[in-house]
Structure 1
Amino acid sequence: MAGGSLDLPVVDLASPDLKSAVDAVRKACVESGFFYVTNHGIQDGLLEALFAESKKFFELPLEEKMLLQRNSAHRGYTAPYAEKLDASSEFQGDLKESFYIGAVGDVDMPNDPNQWPPKERFPSWKDTMKLYHAAALAAGKRILSLIALSLDLEAEFFQNIGAVDCSSEVIRLLHYPGEVNESDNGNYGASAHSDYGMITLLATDGTPGLQICREKDRHPQLWEDVRHVDGTLIVNIGDLLERWTNCVFRYYIFNMLCGIHHVCSS
């Protein structure tokens, strides 16, 4: 059941008023588990390049994309219908396609589990992903410092216990088809789910499609739209952070309609 648009709080990561930023993060994590961040340090030009590289790859024929099918290290391409986030869904699988990228070092790593499109066709792909990985990780650390302070912990708490090890960060490029077959009417790009990690940073191309449900045990469930706000990233907390806070911070389930590109960093 649709419930209109949801107004999420906006947190300025460059605000000189640290207490207000911390209070806003805590309120968001307790009430909805979602918020926007501004002044996150990821340049518009980098995001534009990231979406351009993503779009170029997803426009390839399926058989070419399958040459980089996700491996045992969970890096690479995942085709439509390969994942089904809501086990109760009547459909074969979710409509999204995705590409998973793990930690990207400054130099080529031996035994790198990442898979890369051919350099002759995607000359800027790897460098773009490296730049975005570094920028998203830096933004994530700033957000986690605010979350730590909101829990009356030291700002560097999560860094000091190794919870922000860059090797655990994953970039997911995702594409949701704009048109679907009649048999898929009612299906979702990504069916109802929560994220299992600490936090997810979500960048979108501006097309609406994200919906959240704040009362997951309600029947029928009420789904509210999350608007795109220029210059922001959307942040949501995951199952792990809810568990670590003994459910003081709450995650909420969400889904994705079709027709958008977005990038998750978690």
Structure 2
Amino acid sequence: MEVEKPQNISMTYNRKAGDNSNSNSIKNMIPSEFIRSEKEQPALTTVEGTVLEVPTIDLGERDEEKLVGAISKASQEWGLFQVVNHGIPVPVIQKLQSVGKEFFELPQQEKEAYSIKPAGYEGSEGYATKIRPFTTTNSNNNNDSQQQQQQQKQADDSVRPWVDHLFHNIWPPSAINYHFWPKNPPSYREANEEYAKHLIGVTEKLMAYWAKGLGVEEGRIKEAGGGDEIVYLGKINYYPPCPCPELALGVAAHTDLSLLTVLIPNDVAGLQVCRDGLWYNVHYIPNALIIHIGDQLEVLSNGKYKAVLHRTTVNKEKTRMSWPVFIEPPPHHVVGPIPELITHQNPPNYKTKKFVDYKYCKLNRLPQ
């Protein structure tokens, strides 16, 4: 049975908090399954008073050597950066955000229709409150069924994130399943397709610059990541007001599975990154794109570019939303360090494997 969504829990608490007889007991409580351990609780682990100014990359820079150097440096030292002058019109971004917000304001029953998976479907698309561990019939995994079941149980029993989300592929056409695209609001499809059209150009520029930063041909990152079959997996994160934001997290600490992730948040702060073992809030430039280095780009670069460890906090009064797009290899594409980077002095630091197998291991918490 599907667990109750944080959005519904938040509304229930807000109603009860309005009752004076219950307000004192309600305002300081959330269900125990959302409470993080002390080593994760934001109130105990966030460096207060410091907001990180992560590197800002101006894609309008005409000096390509300077641009490549800045992107490479940020990717090595930070694992993320913000992009300005990216060429995506502000109205396109605003429309994407508007239709996403409208979807989450729909009646619960209407949203739940997008949590239903078609027969035989094993992917991660749809409306949910928790990412389901990935399943596959691939027989190449060497872990026995008992270990898988144990790890599966561990994943199922983990503390819940304070977030509802919607996943669906937005590119290429061969990967799109419109079953998971909301029909309401009516302009939802148009807004997402328009954003995808602009986003592809930005990400392909970035991949070319990353390749140049590694000293390989500019098309090499795209080719090694899956070429024209690279998948753009869109997501909307909805973090409703939380009665005890000091105890909960929207998303726990993680690195992304993807090659890269392009993120647009609303105006409510919440992104945190880990630097030297400490957690910091990140300053966001309105209408910028936040770029996360993902696991697969770290693998392709043989560790030169670093996937960023990050998490999301929540707010007591306001709803935070974000629109990440995970740019991923197609499922059966084989990913490993780019051969041109491998020498006797620089041996491979990562295994070469199908993305579907990497994803299976990570989401099921199994060794890679």
- Aligned with 2:124 (options 52, 74, 79): 74
Q: Is 1:92 matched with 2:159?
A: yes
- Deviation (angstroms), 1:77: 0.9
Q: Distance in 2 between matches of 1:254 and 1:123?
A: 34
Partner of 1:209 in structure 2? Answer: 270
The one-letter code sitting in structure 2 at the alignment partner of 1:177 is P
Count of residues paired in the alignment: 252
1:263 and 2:323 aligned: yes
The answer to whether residue 215 in structure 2 is matched with residue 165 in structure 1 is no
Q: 1: CA distance between counterparts of 2:256 and 2:162?
A: 18
Give TM-score scaled by structure 1 length: 0.85
Name the counterpart of 1:218. Answer: none
Pairing 1:194-233 to 2, within 5 Å after superposition: 194-215=255-276, 221-233=277-289
Aligned match of 1:238: 294
The residue number in structure 1 matching 2:189 is 126
Q: Which residue of 1 aligns with 2:63?
A: 17
Alignment of structure 1 residues 28-43 onto 2, 5 Å: 28-43=74-89
* Letter of the structure 1 residue corresponding to residue 46 of structure 2: A
**Which has more helix, going by share of residues?**
2
Quote the Cα distance in structure 1 between the aligned partners of 2:101 and 2:307.
Answer: 30
Identity of aligned residues (%): 25
1:222 maps to a residue whose letter is L
Gap runs ≥5 in structure 2: 1-44, 134-153, 327-368
Compute the TM-score of the two structures, normalised by the length of structure 2: 0.63
Alignment of 1:96-175 (within 5 A): 96-104=163-171, 112=177, 114-118=179-183, 121-161=184-224, 163-165=226-228, 168-175=231-238
Post-superposition shift, 1:160?
3.8
The CA deviation string for residues 17-53 of structure 1, in whole angstroms up to 9 with x for no partner, is 1111111111111111011111212111011111111
Residues 246-257 of structure 1 correspond to what in structure 2 (within 5 A)?
246-257=302-313
Residues in 2 aligned to 1:250 and 1:89: alpha-carbon distance in whole angstroms = 28
Q: Which has the larger radius of gyration?
A: 2
Q: Equivalent residue of 2:170, what SS?
A: coil
Find the aligned partners of 1:111 and 1:226 in 2 and give their Cα distance.
32
Cα deviation, residue 249, structure 1: 1.5
Q: What root-mean-square deviation, in Å, do the aligned CA atoms of Structure 1 and Structure 2 show?
A: 2.6
Take 1:9 and 1:54, find their aligned partners in 2: how far apart are those partners? 28
Of 21, 38, 46, which residue of structure 2 is paired with 1:2? 46
Q: Secondary structure at the match of 1:102?
A: strand
Structure 2 CA distance for aligned equivalents of residues 2 and 249 of structure 1:
25
